[in-house]
Amino acid sequence: MGLLSLAIWTPIVFGGVLLALGRDEQAGMVRWIALVGALAGLAVTLPIYGGFELGTSAMQFVEKSPWIERFHIHYHLGVDGISLWLVPLTAFITVIVVLASWEAITERVHQYMGAFLILSGLMIGVFASLDAMLFYVFFEATLIPMYLIIGIWGGPNKIYAAFKFFLYTLLGSLLMLVALIYLYNQAGGSFDLLTWHKLPLGATAQTLLFFAFFAAFAVKVPMWPVHTWLPDVHVEAPTGGSAVLAAIMLKLGAYGFLRFSMPIAPDASHEWAWLMIALSLIAVVYVGLVAMVQQDMKKLVAYSSVAHMGFVTLGFFIFNDLGMAGAIVQMIAHGFVSAAMFLGIGVLYDRMHSRQIADYGGVVNTMPKFAAFALLFVMANCGLPGTAGFVGEWMVILAAVKANFWIGLAAASALIFGAAYSLWMFKRVYLGAPGNDHVKALLDINAREFLVMALLAVAVLYMGVHPKPFTDVMDGSVAELLRHVAISKLK
Amino acid sequence: MIDNLSWVTAYPELLLLAMACVITLLDLSVKTPQRGATYVLTLLTLGAVAWLHAVYALGGESIMGFGGMIVSDPMGHWLKCFAALAVMVTLVYGRSYGAQRDMLRGGEWFSLSLFALLGMFVMISGHNFLVIYLGLELLTLSSYALVALKRDDGTATEAAMKYFVLGALASGFLLYGLSMLYGATGSLDIAEVVKAVAAGTERHQVLVFGLVFIVAGLAFKLGVVPFHMWVPDVYHGAPTSITLMIGGAPKLAAFAIVIRLLVEGLLPLAVDWQQMLAVLSVVSLLVGNLAAIAQTNLKRMLAFSTIAQMGFMLLGLLAGVVDGQGGNMANAYSASMFYIITYVLTTLGTFGVILLLARKGFESEEITDLAGLNARSPLYAGVMAICMFSLAGVPPLVGFYAKLSVLQALIASSHAGYIGLAVFAVMMSLIGAFYYLRVVKVMYFDAPAQTAAIEAGADVRAVLSVNGALVLVLGIVPGGLMALCGQAIAVLLR
C-alpha cells in the first residue's frame, strides 16, 4: 500500500470505526480517537512532501491496479506539483477541525467526527486520483458526509441549506458525468486521465466538454453567477463544516479546472478564457462589494471566499506561469485563511450564539488574545504583505497586469474592497468600547482554542514570509501544464 | 422430445415444485403463530434452489430442453438464483409483520410465495411463447392472492381487485400480441419465430402490430408509464411484506421475459421496439420522478420511484442496436441486467427497514414515520440512507454503477439522439435525488416522533445488515457482479 493510499484510507478507516462503534455516552473517548485518526492522517502525508522530487512534472507516488475490469477503470493514484500541497492541507485542516469542534459539538459526537474523517479521506482521494472515474467517485462521495454535517449539526435553516448544497452541486457533476463517459468512448475505452490529456478532439466536442466541466467545477469553486449556494450553506453549516467547505471543498472545483478542463480541452479553454476572466473579475469586484454590506459575519466571509476564489480562476485563465502558480498558492493560502476566519467566527458564536456584526463591539476589551489572532487573520484576508493572503494575490495581479493592464487594474481594486470589508468588520466587532453586557461577560480563548488559532497563525505567517516551499514544488508541473495547453489538440 | 438432459435443466424447478407441495401439506400440522417450522423449511428450500441455480450458472452452458421449450443459460440461472434469494430475504423481513397482522393464520403466505417463485422460474427459462405465458400467469395469480391475503382489510382488497383487473388486461394484451406473431410466423417457439422474422417473408405491418401489444403487455408487467396505474395503488394498498414480494423478485423475471421476447425472439424488429421503449422510458422518467416528489406516503413514493427506475433500466435495452448494427448489444443488455439486479437488492433493503419499523397497529408507511430514526437506531437509519443514496445514484454506492453502465451504453452508441437521452436521464436523476434525500433528511435531521423501541429478531437484524453492507460493498467493488452480467449476456447473444 502506497503513501497516497494510506493518506486516503487512514482517516476513512478511523471514521468508519467511529461510526460503527461510537456511542453517545463515550463522547470523550470518541474525541480522542478522532484526534488520533486525524493526526495519523496528517502524519502519513508528511513523507509525501518529504519524498517529493522537485523539478519534474511527472506524477509521483504512483499506484495503479485494476479496479473495475469491465470499464477498464483503475485504482490509479499519483500527485504532481499542482496537487501535492492540497493533500497535507486537507489532512491539516481536518486536525484543526477536530480540535475546534471539541466542545462545540455535544450531540452524536461519533457521527460528527466520523463524517469529517471520512470526508477528509475522500477529498484527498479527489486530489490524488489519476483515473477519471475514481476522481468522480471521490468527488461525488464527498457530498454525502457534507450533506449530513450541514443537516444534522447546522443552524435553524439547515435543511434548506443542506438540500441546496447537495442538489446544486449534483446538477453540475451530473453533466460532467456525461462528459466523462463521452471521453471514455472517444479514448477507445479508457478512463485514464493522462491518456485523455493527449486525446485529440474536435472544436465542437471541446467546447461542449469545456462547458460540461464548467458546470461541475464552476459551481464548486463557486464562480459568479453560480455562487449563490455558498453564502446560504456557510451561514447554516456548523463551524467545522464551514471551515472544511471553504478551505478544501472549494478547491476541488478549482483543481478540476487544472486537471480536466484545461488539459483536455485546451483550445476551448483559450477560446472561452475571456468568459472565465470576465466571470472571475465580476466575482472579485462585484462580490467583493456585496461582501461589504453583509450584516452577518459568516455571510461576509462566505462572499469574501467567492471573491478570493475569483483570483484563483483569474490566475488560471491568464495562461502564464506566474498567474497559474499564484492561483495555486492562493488556493492553499485561502485554505488556511478562510478556515481561520470561520473558526474565529465559531469561537465567538460558541460564546454569544450570534453571528450578527451588530451584536458585537469592543470584543478586544474582554478577549485580547483572541482579538490579536483575529487581527492577523483579517489582515491575511485582505492580503497584507507578510501573510499568506498576500503572496498569491500579488502573483495573480502581477500576471494580470502583464497580460492586460485593465484586467490587472480591476483585479487590484479587489485589494481595496478586501481591506474595506475585512477591516470594517474588524472595527465593528472588536474595537471600541464593549457593545453590550454580553460582550462584557466574554471569556478569552482557552488553551485548546489558543492552540487551534496558533497553528493556523503559524501557517499563515510562514507561508507569507517564506512561500518558497510552496512555489518550488509547483514550478515544474505548472510549466508543463502551460506548455501542454499551448498546443492545439484539434483534429 | 423429452430426453434426460431436459430433466437436468429443470431440476431446481422440480425441487421447488415438490417442496412447495410438501410445505403446503406439512403446514397443516404447524400450530405456532409464527409458523417457525414452515418458515425454516421454506428458507432451506429457497437456499437449496438458489445454490443449485448458482451451480448451473457457473457451468456457463446454454442448453435447450423439452424440445426447445425451456432454455438453461447463465443469464436465466443467475436471475433465478437472485430471485430465489430475494424471495428468501422478503420472507425473513416480512414474517413478524405478517404474524402481527393475522396473515400467518395459515401457511398460504409461504406456499403462495413459493408458487409465485416457480412462476418466475418458468418465465425466466421459457423459450416458447406459451411456456412464458404459463409462468407469467402462475406468478400473477399467486400475486393476486397474496395481495388479498389480509382479507378483512379494505385497502388491500381494493388493491387486489385493481391488480387483478389491470393484470388480466395486461396478460390479455400480451397473449393477443403473441397470437398475432403466431399467426404471422406459424410458430410459438422463440427460435423458430426469430428465423421466420429474420427471413423477412412475413408482412412487416402484422409483425409490428403484434409487437405493439407485446410491448404494451411487458410495459404493464414492468410498470412503466403509461401502463403504470396499478403500481402506486398496489404498492400502497398491499400489506408491506406483499409489496416487497411484488416489487422485488418479479422485476427480475419481467426483465428476463423482455430479453427473451424482444431480444431473443424479435431482434430483427429492434428498430421498432427500441423506439417504443424510448417513448416508454422517457415518459416513465418524467412522470415517475415528478409524481414521486408529491408523495407523503413512503410506499407510494417508492412506487413512483420504481416507475422512474424501470424507465432508466429500459434506456439500456434500447441502446443495443444502432443503425442496424448490433455491436453495442452485449454492453447495453448487460448494463440493464446489472441495473435490475442492483435495483432489487436496494429495494429489499428499503422495504426491510419499513417492515422493521412497523408494529402491531402501526404501519410506518408515511415518510414522517421515519423521523429521527438515526437517534433511535443508527444501524437501520444507516441501511436506509445507503439504500436511498444508492437509488439516487450517488457514488460510491452500487446504484451509481448501474446508472453509469446504462449511460455508458447510451453514449457508446455515438448517436446524437441517444446522447440526448443520456443528458435527459441524468437531469431526471437530479429530480430523483431530491425525494430520496428527503427521506434521509427525515431520518437524520428531524426529531424522533416515535420513541418505541425497535424490536427485531436476530435473523432480520443479520440479513438487513448484510443487505445494507452489500449495497455499499458492491459499490466499492462492483467489478465482479458486472463481469457476471457481462458473461451471462455474452452467452445469450452467442
Q: Taking CB atoms and an 8 Å limit, are B408 and A143 in contact across chains?
A: no
pTM: 0.93
Task: Inform me whether the pLDDT recorded for B1 exceeds 80.
Answer: no
Task: Inform me whether the pLDDT recorded for B2 exceeds 80.
Answer: no
Closest by CA position to B382, among listed B472, B475, B473, B478: B472
With beta carbons under 8 A apart, name residues in chain B contacting A175: 423, 426
Distance from CA of B378 to the nearest CA of A (A): 9
Q: Residues of chain A whose C-beta is under 8 A from some C-beta in B?
A: 19, 66-71, 108, 111, 133, 136-137, 140-141, 143-144, 147-148, 151-152, 158-159, 162-163, 166-167, 170-171, 174-175, 177-178, 181-182, 184-185
Q: Taking CB atoms and an 8 Å limit, are B433 and A177 in contact across chains?
A: no
Q: Is residue B122 part of a domain?
A: no
Domain residues for B307? 269-494
With beta carbons under 8 A apart, name residues in chain B contacting A184: 408
CA distance A212 to A42: 34
DSSP A78: E
Q: Which H helix or E strand runs over B249?
A: helix B249-258
DSSP B152: T
By percentage, how much of chain B surpasses pLDDT 90?
58
With beta carbons under 8 A apart, name residues in chain A contacting B378: 19, 111
Distances (CA, A) of A158 to A146, A419, B172: 12, 30, 52
Residue for grid cell 459568516? A298
Which of B293, B315, B430 is the best residue to mutate to test the A interface, defined by the most A CB atoms within 10 Å of its own CB?
A: B430
CB-nearest to B434 from A158, A159, A167 is A167
Q: Where are the alpha helices (DSSP H) in B101-153?
A: 108-125, 129-147
pLDDT of residue B494: 81
With beta carbons under 8 A apart, name residues in chain A contacting B483: 69-70
Which tens digits make up the pLDDT trace of B154-186? 888 999 999 999 999 999 999 999 999 998 888
Q: What share of chain B is helix, strand, coil (3-state, %, to 5)?
A: 80, 5, 20
Q: Is residue B207 part of a domain?
A: no
Interface confidence, given as ipTM, is 0.90
CB-nearest to B395 from A136, A147, A163 is A136
Distance from CA of A305 to the nearest CA of B (A): 27
Nearest CA in chain A to B400: A137
Q: Taking CB atoms and an 8 Å limit, are B396 and A141 in contact across chains?
A: yes
Task: Inform me whether the pLDDT recorded for A207 exceeds 80.
Answer: yes
Q: Is residue B230 part of a domain?
A: no
Which tens digits make up the pLDDT trace of B38-52? 899 999 999 999 999
* Residue predicted with more confidence, B324 or A4: A4
Distance from CA of A185 to the nearest CA of B (A): 6
Distance from CA of B458 to the nearest CA of A (A): 18
Q: Taking CB atoms and an 8 Å limit, are B408 and A140 in contact across chains?
A: no
Give the DSSP letter string of A226-262. S-THHHHHHHHS-HHHHHHIIIIIHHHHHHHIIIIIH
Contact B239/B310 with Cβ under 8 angstroms? Answer: no
CA distance A248 to A83: 12
Number of domains forming the structure of chain B = 1
CA distance A190 to A73: 7
Q: Taking CB atoms and an 8 Å limit, are B394 and A141 in contact across chains?
A: yes
DSSP A130: -
Distance from CA of A69 to the nearest CA of B (A): 6
Q: Taking CB atoms and an 8 Å limit, are B407 and A177 in contact across chains?
A: yes
B173 alpha-carbon distance from chain centroid:
20
- In the structure, what pLDDT confidence band is assigned to residue A433 with cuts at 50, 70 and 90? confident
The three cell numbers locating residue B205: 405491418
Query: Would you call B426 an interface residue with chain A, using a CB distance cutoff of 8 Å?
Result: yes
CB-nearest to A70 from B400, B444, B483 is B483
Q: Where are the alpha helices (DSSP H) in A101-131?
A: 109-128
With beta carbons under 8 A apart, name residues in chain A contacting B427: 174
Q: Taking CB atoms and an 8 Å limit, are B434 and A68 in contact across chains?
A: no
Q: Is residue B223 part of a domain?
A: no
Q: Is residue B331 part of a domain?
A: yes
What angle, 0 to 180 degrees and rounded to 10, lies between the N-to-C axes of helices A109-128 and A86-100?
A: 170
Mean pLDDT of chain A: 89
Task: Inform me whether the pLDDT recorded for B450 exceeds 80.
Answer: no
Closest by CA position to A82, among listed A489, A486, A395, A475: A475
- In the structure, what pLDDT confidence band is assigned to residue B101 with cuts at 50, 70 and 90? confident
Ramachandran bin of B238, using left for φ above 0, alpha for ψ from -120 to 50, beta for the remaining angles: beta
Q: Taking CB atoms and an 8 Å limit, are A178 and B411 in contact across chains?
A: yes
Contact A148/B443 with Cβ under 8 angstroms? Answer: no
DSSP B64: E
Q: Taking CB atoms and an 8 Å limit, are B419 and A182 in contact across chains?
A: yes
Average pLDDT for A392-413: 89
CB-nearest to B479 from A19, A68, A166 is A68
Query: Would you call B482 an interface residue with chain A, using a CB distance cutoff of 8 Å?
Result: yes
Task: Inform me whether the pLDDT recorded for B4 exceeds 80.
Answer: no
Q: How many CB atoms sit inside 10 A of residue B3's CB?
A: 10
Q: Is residue B126 part of a domain?
A: no
Contact B388/A147 with Cβ under 8 angstroms? Answer: no
Q: Taking CB atoms and an 8 Å limit, are A163 and B437 in contact across chains?
A: yes
CA distance B449 to B58: 49
Q: Is residue B278 part of a domain?
A: yes
The three cell numbers locating residue B143: 400475486
Q: Taking CB atoms and an 8 Å limit, are B445 and A152 in contact across chains?
A: yes
The three cell numbers locating residue A411: 483585479
- In the structure, what pLDDT confidence band is assigned to residue A382 with cuts at 50, 70 and 90? confident
Task: Inform me whether the pLDDT recorded for B433 exceeds 80.
Answer: yes
Determine the 3-state secondary structure of B362 from DSSP.
Answer: strand
Compute the C-alpha angle A158/A162/A166, nearest 5°: 170
Query: Would you call B478 an interface residue with chain A, using a CB distance cutoff of 8 Å?
Result: yes
The three cell numbers locating residue B289: 420522478
Ramachandran bin of A52, using left for φ above 0, alpha for ψ from -120 to 50, beta for the remaining angles: beta
- In the structure, what pLDDT confidence band is assigned to residue B448 with cuts at 50, 70 and 90? confident
Q: Is residue B285 part of a domain?
A: yes
CB-nearest to B482 from A68, A133, A147 is A68
Task: Inform me whether the pLDDT recorded for A78 exceeds 80.
Answer: yes
Which tens digits make up the pLDDT trace of A132-159? 999 999 999 999 999 999 988 888 888 8
Lowest mean pLDDT among A91-95, A165-169, B202-206, B465-469: B202-206
| Phi and psi angles of residue B419, each rounded to the nearest 5 degrees, phi first | -65, -35
CB-nearest to A174 from B426, B437, B477 is B426
Contact B121/B16 with Cβ under 8 angstroms? Answer: yes
By percentage, how much of chain B surpasses pLDDT 70?
100
The three cell numbers locating residue B18: 415438490
Q: Which residues pair with A74 in a beta bridge?
A: A66
Q: Taking CB atoms and an 8 Å limit, are A137 and B407 in contact across chains?
A: no
| Phi and psi angles of residue A386, each rounded to the nearest 5 degrees, phi first | 95, -10
Which tens digits make up the pLDDT trace of B309-334? 999 999 999 888 887 787 888 889 99
